[in-house]
């Protein structure tokens, strides 16, 4: 059996926030924090298994009983067809100590046979908690249906779900757990990073200027060894002095620093009211006013009581008070901003909450006064 073969799995998306934050301070960022080496990636593994030893918190789904029956037969326990039919359909047969789970893991490049990786376990049936359970042997496969890992071990659950007939309490999600070093690598992923004496760096945030600056930084250190193929790709030619030690060459390149050039961007999350404004965001000279409209309603129902010995009935008479208040705000003049601090001060002077700022930014963009990309989450 080959111990190393290519695994075709989509690379995980890596979110980079440190580079943007440091760029806002005017500092330079290491190339290794702005790029990934082509071919170096995490590979997704998945498997389906059983967690046993649960304390009456397991699943009662037909799928759980089916998988349990198949596993018992795989270990040589022959089950009579009539009993098998009852196991699959009779809900009176208890499986409260068993849960059918999905097992997932990320296999990094350069992990070798015999090393271990962490795994995540999540219920696939109606189990209420995995606390105290143990995952029995579960093979983990890649996108090519080859087994790359073998998982097992006690499930760690940082959650609880307790309660009685009238009340209950829950912390986090007790139906998801984790096993540290819970899977052993049984097949290595063949990773190729050097082809024809060249390697490629993939920018995590593609940009023409950033790619150019990386090229200049590398060529200043080792002339004629780097050029940008496009905004997302920089190609490196391994110098003769590093042909026998490519690792040292890539480490040296990664340690070089550049100042990334980021696009002017305003990110708005309307669900949480969070707004992030990039360093290069600029506003043209603009006049802005924002008036808040508040409507207050008050229900004051009154009880109408009939007089004594009358034939009337007691009724509730509705009473509603409505008050509309519109706050007048003066027109505010925003000068052309120079820094993010200036922009923040100008917006704070309007005295509007973050959620209203999202609407203001939309209007500024529509009027052409906002010189930045507007992104909504």
179-235 confidence digits (pLDDT tens)? 999 999 999 988 888 888 999 999 999 999 999 999 999 999 999 999 999 999 999
**Structure confidence at residue 7 as a pLDDT band (50, 70, 90):** very low
Give the pLDDT confidence score for residue 13 in this predicted structure.
Answer: 27
Rounded to an integer, the average pLDDT of 105-119 is 94
**Structure confidence at residue 15 as a pLDDT band (50, 70, 90):** very low
Question: DSSP letters of 228-290?
Answer: EEETTEEEEEPPGGGTT-HHHHHHHHHH-EE------EEEEETTTTEEEE-TT-EE-SEEE--
Lowest-pLDDT choice from 148-152, 232-236, 318-322: 318-322
CATH code of domain 8-40+194-258:
3.90.1150
User: Is pLDDT at 30 greater than 50 in this prediction?
Assistant: yes
264 CB burial (10 A radius; 0-12, 13-18, 19+): middle
User: Is pLDDT at 172 greater than 50 in this prediction?
Assistant: yes
Please report, rounded to a whole number, the percentage of residues in the chain having pLDDT higher than 70: 68
Sign of CA dihedral 216, 221, 227, 233: negative
The distance in angstroms from the start CA to the end CA of the chain is: 47
Residue in 372, 46, 352, 31 with CA at minimum distance from that of residue 222: 31
Helix, coil or strand: residue 338: coil
List, in sequence order, every residue forming a beta bridge with 323; answer none if it has no partner.
Answer: 296
As annotated, the residues of the chain forming the CATH 3.90.1150 domain(s) are 8-40+194-258
d(CA 32, CA 56): 49
Which tens digits make up the pLDDT trace of 46-91? 999 999 999 888 888 878 888 887 887 777 777 777 766 666 666 6
- If one counts every other C-beta atom within 10 angstroms of the C-beta of residue 329, the result is 14
Counting Cα atoms < 13 Å in the Cβ hemisphere of 176 gives 6
279 CB burial (10 A radius; 0-12, 13-18, 19+): middle
Q: Taking a C-beta distance cutoff of 8 angstroms, is the pair 182, 152 a contact?
A: yes
User: In 3-state terms, the chain is what percent helix, strand and coil (to 5)?
Assistant: 20, 35, 40
Helix, coil or strand: residue 147: strand
Residue in 106, 108, 101 with CA at minimum distance from that of residue 40: 108
Rounded to an integer, the average pLDDT of 32-37 is 94
Q: Which two tokens stand for residue 137?
A: 């042997």
Question: DSSP letters of 40-89?
Answer: --EEEEEEEEEEE--SS-----HHHHHHHHHHHHHTT----HHHHHHHHH
Look at the chain and count its residues.
377
Give 92's contacts (C-beta < 8 A, 6+ positions apart).
none
103 CB burial (10 A radius; 0-12, 13-18, 19+): buried
d(CA 103, CA 178): 9
d(CA 119, CA 178): 6
């Amino acid at each position: 059996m080959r111990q190393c073969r290519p695994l075709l799995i989509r690379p995980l998306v890596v979110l980079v926030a440190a580079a943007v934050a440091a760029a806002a301070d005017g500092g330079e960022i290491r190339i290794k924090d702005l790029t990934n080496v082509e071919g170096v990636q995490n590979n997704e593994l998945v498997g389906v298994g059983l967690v046993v030893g649960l304390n009456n918190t397991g699943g009662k789904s037909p799928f759980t009983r089916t998988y349990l029956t198949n596993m018992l037969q795989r270990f040589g326990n022959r089950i009579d067809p009539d009993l098998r039919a009852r196991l699959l359909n009779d809900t009176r047969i208890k499986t409260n100590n068993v849960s059918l789970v999905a097992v997932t893991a990320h296999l990094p490049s350069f992990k070798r046979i015999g090393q271990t990786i962490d795994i995540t376990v999540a219920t696939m049936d109606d189990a209420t908690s995995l606390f105290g359970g143990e995952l029995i042997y579960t093979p983990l496969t890649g996108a090519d249906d080859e087994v790359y890992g073998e998982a097992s071990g006690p499930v760690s659950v940082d959650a609880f779900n307790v309660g009685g007939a009238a009340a209950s309490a829950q912390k986090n999600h007790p139906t998801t757990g984790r096993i540290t070093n819970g899977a052993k690598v049984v097949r290595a992923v063949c990773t190729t990073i050097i082809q024809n004496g060249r390697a490629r760096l993939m920018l995590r945030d593609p940009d023409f200027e950033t790619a150019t600056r990386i090229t200049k930084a590398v060529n200043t250190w080792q002339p004629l060894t780097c050029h940008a193929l496009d905004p997302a790709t920089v190609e490196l030619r391994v110098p003769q002095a590093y042909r026998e030690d490519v690792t040292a060459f890539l480490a040296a390149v990664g340690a070089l620093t550049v100042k990334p050039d980021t696009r002017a961007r305003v990110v708005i999350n309307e669900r949480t009211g969070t707004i992030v404004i990039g360093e290069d965001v600029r506003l043209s000279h603009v006049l802005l006013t924002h008036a808040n409209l508040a409507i207050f309603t008050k229900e004051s129902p009154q009880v109408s009581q009939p007089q004594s010995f009358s034939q009337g009935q007691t009724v509730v008479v509705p009473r509603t008070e409505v008050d509309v208040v519109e706050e007048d705000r003066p027109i505010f003049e925003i000068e052309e901003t120079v820094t993010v601090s200036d922009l923040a001060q100008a917006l704070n002077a309007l005295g509007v909450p973050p959620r209203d700022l999202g609407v203001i930014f939309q209007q500024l963009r529509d009027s052409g006064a906002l010189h930045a990309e507007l992104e909504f989450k």
